[in-house]
A and B are shown apart, each in its own frame.
Chain A
Amino acid sequence: MKRLFLLPLLLASAGTAQAQQPTPTATVIAVPPLTSPNSGSKGNEMLAIGWQAAELIGADLRQTAELMPLPTSRNEYYSYPEVTAPSFSKWRANGAKALVTGFVQSRSDGRLTVGCYVYDLEKGRELMRKGFVISPSDWRRAAHKCSGLAYTAITGAPGIFDTRIVYVAESGVGDARTKRIAIMDSDGGGHRYLTGPEAMVLTPRLAPKSEQLAYVSFMGGAPHVRIRDLDGANDRPLLQQGTMSFAPRYSPDGRTIVVSVSLNGNTDLYAVSSAGGPSRRLSTAPGIDTAASFSPDGSKIVFESDRGGSQQLYVMNADGSGQRRISFGGGWYASPQWSPDGEWIAFTRRGQDGRRIGIMKPDGTGERLLTRGTADEGPAWAASSREIIFQHANASGRPGLYRVTLDGSEPRQVTIPQDGSDPDWSGVAE
């Protein structure tokens, strides 16, 4: 019986590997090891960090659809002056169209200066440069920022390498299943749990600067939105106790949280100050209005409503006025999120073929499905607006996290220590 299962599994993994091959349009970029102005044993220490940083930059850029990094080679060390005066023809000969150089310098205060430079090899000119002063243990973050610099210099979009993913970690079976909030770097590093197994939690949503978190907790019985600092301090209910509330999302300025409140079986949207205080009702239609998400300029809100008989997407002004339906593609539409660049709305479509993730323009045109389902939901945008993280349950019903880019390539599974659901992706921290 076991042998029968092997074949489809092998085929599936082969298909995935194929999908990960770079597209011909990707920009080939050379990422030689970062150099150092230091000499002696300190210099060797810095070169070791520079080597690891270049490997991490390569790994970061390999995750993208737009860039194709050449493997970092130990034969490619260059001198400190060459950081700002690289040999363009040498790198061009390797087939690269772009180049990242940089250095790691030990400072007298024990910290490090990391410098990064991105070059267009065809035009033979510098595109961007950036320097960071960091503690030695933060070299990974500096490398992620270099990756972001290279990505932005070549694509024009924000890099997402120094971002975090928050999600619900699930373990156990049936009624004994526990759900905890976990957070990690977007490359899977620094994984940790933010809540314990005592209370069931859902839909963690990061504030724009990631200093605060809104989520749904069943603590005390009924589901309700709570907010807390990321370090765990100031955990409190957002609304008066006894109010059933869920589906929180922050406004782009972080001052407002839009939530759904269920009262006497009817669910409407409310805008609440994230500092606490009075709430403002945004929708009054009979039916379920939920899953609201702000446009990046804060002027509009997209949400789902079944007021017309089935779940559909609606857009309204942030004060609740001007509500109009935007989804007309057939099937049911749910859990919309507005992209950070304002261009797209990601959604879950429910149809005959199960639940799939897709995108459409804010006016409802240009609809495109990105996943095959059949049990996908909860899309959340990367800061680049070019990639979406979502929840996909496999054939046995166990949920995991997947990333998919807008270019039509296969979704890739995100490695986490257990099952996972309800992902949210942070913005880029300065």
Chain B
Amino acid sequence: MRTILSLIALTLLGSAAQAQLRVPFINRQPAQPAVQGIDALRLEFATQSGGSTIYFGTESSTLGAPARAVLSAQAAWLRRHPEVVVRIEGYGDGGDTRDHALAMGARRAEEARNFLLLLGVPSAQVTATSWGKERPGLGRAVTILVR
């Protein structure tokens, strides 16, 4: 859980482009500051989609049944919230080599993204990236609400 929270903090401190993109969202809900708004959404997302993290077997990018169940719940939630944009961050395995782990993280994130698109989530709503083996923990993909 600590992993996910710190990544959210990074997102909020992120690029100028993201800050600009958040503006219309604030305008639509003038009574609520953006941080509270997205925090509330994140909480709702986490509870209603069965979690933001899916796990993979070593050296595998195949979605197992538990991963597909989580992604299905995420897809349902995202279809109800077309205003939300998410980023899927893929992670490689600690025992992998540097470059291959980066590519493996990208492949896992893309597998998760493709599954969401297959279930009807518009492609503009989901981006994918990779951390390679730069963060400790098991091979996984984490869906992060960007805005």
Contacting pair A290 B100 (CB below 8 A): yes
Q: Mark A199-229, 1 if CB is under 8 A from B, else 0.
A: 0101100000000000010101111000000
Q: Return chain B residues, CB-CB under 8 Å to A350.
A: 95-97
Distance (Å) between the CB of B101 and the closest chain A CB? 10
Contacting pair A223 B102 (CB below 8 A): yes
Q: Mark A255-277, 1 if CB is under 8 A from B, else 0.
A: 00000101011110000000000
Give the distance in Å from the alpha carbon of A246 to the alpha carbon of B99 in the complex.
7
Q: Mark B24-53, 1 if CB is under 8 A from A, else 0.
A: 000000000000000000000000000000
Q: Mark B116-147, 1 if CB is under 8 A from A, else 0.
A: 00000000000011111011100000000000
Residue of A nearest to B146 (CB): A221
Number of interface residues of B (CB under 8 A): 31
Contacting pair A260 B97 (CB below 8 A): no
B111 is contacted by which of A174, A265, A311 (Cβ under 8 Å)?
A: A265
Contacting pair B99 A335 (CB below 8 A): yes
Is A55 in contact with chain B by the CB < 8 A criterion?
Answer: no
Contacting pair A311 B100 (CB below 8 A): yes
Q: Mark A290-303, 1 if CB is under 8 A from B, else 0.
A: 11000000000000
Q: Return chain B residues, CB-CB under 8 Å to A262.
A: 102-103, 106-107, 130
Contacting pair A267 B106 (CB below 8 A): yes
Contacting pair A355 B97 (CB below 8 A): yes
Contacting pair A220 B15 (CB below 8 A): yes
Is B75 in contact with chain A by the CB < 8 A criterion?
Answer: no
B100 is contacted by which of A203, A221, A265, A306 (Cβ under 8 Å)?
A: A306
Residue of B nearest to A347 (CB): B97
Contacting pair A244 B3 (CB below 8 A): no
Give the distance in Å from the alpha carbon of A422 to the alpha carbon of B111 in the complex.
28
Q: Mark A238-252, 1 if CB is under 8 A from B, else 0.
A: 000000101100000
Is A334 in contact with chain B by the CB < 8 A criterion?
Answer: yes
Give the distance in Å from the alpha carbon of A174 to the alpha carbon of B3 in the complex.
9
Distance (Å) between the CB of B54 and the closest chain A CB? 15
Distance (Å) between the CB of A164 and the closest chain B CB? 21
Is A231 in contact with chain B by the CB < 8 A criterion?
Answer: no
Distance (Å) between the CB of B124 and the closest chain A CB? 14
The answer to whether residues A175 and B6 also contact, given A200-B134, A222-B129, A262-B130 and a CB cut-off of 8 A, is yes
Distance (Å) between the CB of A308 and the closest chain B CB? 14
Q: Return chain A residues, CB-CB under 8 Å to B66.
A: none
Distance (Å) between the CB of A351 and the closest chain B CB? 11
Residue of A nearest to B15 (CB): A220
Q: Mark A138-175, 1 if CB is under 8 A from B, else 0.
A: 00000000000000000000000000000000000011
Is A304 in contact with chain B by the CB < 8 A criterion?
Answer: yes
Is B104 in contact with chain A by the CB < 8 A criterion?
Answer: yes
A348 is contacted by which of B7, B97, B104 (Cβ under 8 Å)?
A: B97
Is A378 in contact with chain B by the CB < 8 A criterion?
Answer: yes
Interface of A is mostly: strand
Give the distance in Å from the alpha carbon of A335 to the alpha carbon of B99 in the complex.
8
Distance (Å) between the CB of A196 and the closest chain B CB? 16
Q: Return chain B residues, CB-CB under 8 Å to A220.
A: 14-15
Is A288 in contact with chain B by the CB < 8 A criterion?
Answer: yes
Is A377 in contact with chain B by the CB < 8 A criterion?
Answer: yes
Q: Return chain A residues, CB-CB under 8 Å to B103.
A: 246, 260, 262, 267, 288, 290
Give the distance in Å from the alpha carbon of A202 to the alpha carbon of B109 in the complex.
20
Give the distance in Å from the alpha carbon of A140 to the alpha carbon of B74 in the complex.
62
Residue of A nearest to B108 (CB): A265
A203 is contacted by which of B61, B99, B109, B110 (Cβ under 8 Å)?
A: B99
Q: Which residues of A from 383 to 410 have beta carbons under 8 Å from B? A: none
The answer to whether residues A378 and B97 also contact, given A246-B102, A265-B110, A288-B104 and a CB cut-off of 8 A, is yes
Contacting pair A265 B107 (CB below 8 A): yes
Distance (Å) between the CB of A55 and the closest chain B CB? 38
Give the distance in Å from the alpha carbon of A230 to the alpha carbon of B21 in the complex.
35
Distance (Å) between the CB of B85 and the closest chain A CB? 13
Is B98 in contact with chain A by the CB < 8 A criterion?
Answer: yes
Contacting pair B135 A175 (CB below 8 A): yes
Is B2 in contact with chain A by the CB < 8 A criterion?
Answer: yes
Contacting pair B130 A260 (CB below 8 A): no
Give the distance in Å from the alpha carbon of A264 to the alpha carbon of B106 in the complex.
8
Contacting pair B97 A335 (CB below 8 A): yes
Q: List 8 A-B contacts (CB under 8 A).
A: A174-B136, A223-B102, A223-B130, A244-B129, A306-B100, A334-B99, A335-B97, A350-B97
Write the residues of chain A forming the contact surface with B, with a CB cutoff of 8 angstroms. Answer: 174-175, 179, 200, 202-203, 216, 218, 220-223, 244, 246-247, 260, 262, 264-267, 288, 290-291, 304, 306, 311, 334-335, 348, 350, 354-355, 377-378, 421-422
Write the residues of chain B forming the contact surface with A, with a CB cutoff of 8 angstroms. Answer: 2-3, 6-7, 14-15, 61, 87, 95-100, 102-104, 106-107, 109-111, 114, 128-132, 134-136
Known: A202-B98, A222-B130. 13 other contacts (CB 8 A): A175-B136, A216-B102, A220-B15, A221-B15, A222-B129, A223-B129, A244-B106, A260-B103, A265-B110, A288-B104, A288-B107, A335-B99, A355-B95
